[in-house]
A and B are shown apart, each in its own frame.
Chain A
């Protein structure tokens, strides 16, 4: 009896949870489906759900009309480039904060965090003018620099929380065995830190890929990543739902897959270790 009641309860919860999940996911599903419709079918009343003429023409048309892959490539260069550059600067910093903490380490960490809380409009004008004067407007280099800087605090913090979980005794042991600083980092620390670095990398690529304040304000036709490219659909001409859907699906799909893999790290990374 109790078993049957538990199973019935589980069935009810299953139904509710799946309904809620599908409702929340629906805008994404709908976009993906619409990307395979013709423009006429995309606005048909009543809307067709699955029984429509499936086509890939929107995907090829988006590419032909607007050089989609230039913008896709911009997104890849900017998000991966800024993440790698950020790691290069942040790994040594997080290493020393985690293993050789001094009196001020805590203050430095908190101060780094505070830079993340600076609203971007507070520095929009100087950055815009500096970029204009240095010829960095609408350049991938400029966007890599800005995204490296805005995500650096998150990278340092995430790495710090991971590094701190590596037992310090291991380092002492390797030091006793005569390992120098370089060997200590290369052969002892890095192998143990690889999972932490990998998840930091993943989360940061996601954040940089979706960043939509600086990319919208500092890029134009040449360096525009997908966030800015898609924004050009806000003043469209003619029927565009299917093409918007195709462009959106390609922009979201790769990062959605990465995001699903990194869901555990997400909590830690975005709460600065306050919730694990």
Chain B
């Protein structure tokens, strides 16, 4: 039914969004790529020169890079496992009928709306602080030695904070998926004598597979870029114990003013994210019927 006239109008209405995003993506990305082949330090203006792949060689052989890569994988993997396992448990719980379901649902999703700097600082100071924190008070009350979370288990502590932030997202998506499950199938399985565990493994889990994939992929995109939580709690330390790739690139470019090296790191981060993005895009594209 679309006429030539409306097609032309359609292209016209689409163009601002397309041009803006194209500009936003292409121009800076090309600049980053260009900088990554230069010796370019903001503290030494005028000394820029082409040095080929030196920045990459330097960045990819830096011990800090391997530490950051390991930390990034641990952070993403740890948070994914915890949020998905916890999310399935919470979804199953919230799917049951009980009194005050709406309110509990609101309580559970609340952490998602807390800005990253607030949640990180609240956890760091008011809960995890070894002197004044609530966890220390509880430990003392039980006659235990308070544990200095961010000094002794920095990465695990950050995984905990980020898990708290993302658990609501996983729960909400898995709960939405769970509620679309055909109840009659569960009842039929129960009549056939399938126990709760069997029903979970053979009916519920397969039904949730799609939602779990979506949660995994979307969270991975965001978790690869965790930044504020690290900046305000540990500054990437002690040493490089909590430096992820995002923080490493930030430190190299905006703290050490090494534009060339930081740009090479940025390109490496783009490549890593693209590996995940390809899977996510394929999955979303499959459900998109135009």
Known: A92-B16, A106-B290, A275-B173. A13 touches B35 (CB 8 A): no
Chain B residue nearest to A45 in the complex (CB): B137
Report A-chain residues with C-beta under 8 Å of the C-beta of B151: none
Could you say which of B77-85, B90-98, B183-191 contacts chain A?
B90-98
Known: A17-B94, A274-B283. A45 touches B20 (CB 8 A): no
Q: Which of A21, A113, A248 contacts B107 (CB 8 A)?
A: A21
Interface presence of A121 (CB below 8 A) = yes
Interface centre among A13, A34, A45, A126 (most CB of B within 10 A): A126
Within 8 A of A (CB), among B114-169: 114-119, 121-127, 132, 134, 137, 140-141, 164, 167-169
Chain A residue nearest to B132 in the complex (CB): A43
A248 touches B118 (CB 8 A): yes
Nearest Cβ on chain A to B105's Cβ, whole angstroms: 8
B121 touches A114 (CB 8 A): no
Chain B residue nearest to A172 in the complex (CB): B1
Report B-chain residues with C-beta under 8 Å of the C-beta of A106: 285, 288, 290
Could you say which of B59-67, B195-203, B248-256 contacts chain A?
B248-256
Question: What is the CA–CA distance of A125 and B106 in the complex, to the nearest angstrom?
Answer: 39
Report A-chain residues with C-beta under 8 Å of the C-beta of B106: 260, 263
B125 touches A244 (CB 8 A): yes
Question: What is the CA–CA distance of A113 and B29 in the complex, to the nearest angstrom?
Answer: 16
Could you say which of A22-30, A61-69, A192-200 contacts chain B?
A22-30
Question: What is the CA–CA distance of A252 and B21 in the complex, to the nearest angstrom?
Answer: 30
B228 touches A16 (CB 8 A): no
B104 touches A17 (CB 8 A): yes
A270 touches B218 (CB 8 A): yes
Report A-chain residues with C-beta under 8 Å of the C-beta of B173: 267, 270-271, 275
Question: What is the CA–CA distance of A69 and B203 in the complex, to the nearest angstrom?
Answer: 52
Nearest Cβ on chain B to A240's Cβ, whole angstroms: 8
Give the size range of A's interface with the partner: 35 or more
Interface presence of B51 (CB below 8 A) = no
Question: What is the CA–CA distance of A234 and B120 in the complex, to the nearest angstrom?
Answer: 9
- Dominant SS among interface residues on chain A: helix
Question: What is the CA–CA distance of A132 and B96 in the complex, to the nearest angstrom?
Answer: 54
Known: A120-B225, A273-B287. A251 touches B115 (CB 8 A): yes
Question: What is the CA–CA distance of A234 and B233 in the complex, to the nearest angstrom?
Answer: 7
Question: What is the CA–CA distance of A149 and B29 in the complex, to the nearest angstrom?
Answer: 14
Report A-chain residues with C-beta under 8 Å of the C-beta of B126: 27, 30-31, 34, 241, 244-245
Interface centre among B21, B35, B110, B132 (most CB of A within 10 A): B21
The 8 A CB mask of A1-31 against B (1 = contact, 0 = none) is 0000000001001101110111011011011
Q: Could you give 30 example pairs across A and B, Cβ below 8 Å?
A: A10-B97, A27-B126, A27-B127, A45-B137, A47-B134, A92-B17, A93-B13, A93-B17, A109-B288, A112-B18, A114-B277, A115-B25, A118-B273, A120-B225, A121-B246, A121-B250, A122-B267, A122-B270, A124-B250, A125-B253, A125-B263, A129-B259, A216-B227, A216-B228, A227-B116, A231-B232, A234-B124, A251-B118, A259-B109, A266-B109
Which A residues contact B (CB, under 8 angstroms)?
Answer: 10, 13-14, 16-18, 20-22, 24-25, 27-28, 30-31, 34, 43, 45-47, 89-90, 92-93, 95-97, 99-102, 105-106, 108-110, 112-130, 149-150, 152-153, 156, 168, 172, 181, 206, 209-210, 212-213, 216-217, 226-228, 230-231, 233-234, 240-241, 244-245, 248, 251-252, 255-256, 258-260, 263, 266-267, 270-276
Which B residues contact A (CB, under 8 angstroms)?
Answer: 1-2, 6-7, 9-11, 13-14, 16-18, 20-21, 24-25, 27-29, 31-32, 35, 90, 93-94, 96-101, 103-119, 121-127, 132, 134, 137, 140-141, 164, 167-169, 172-173, 176-177, 210-211, 214, 218, 221, 224-225, 227-228, 231-233, 245-246, 249-250, 253-254, 259, 262-263, 265-267, 269-270, 272-274, 276-277, 280-281, 283-285, 287-288, 290
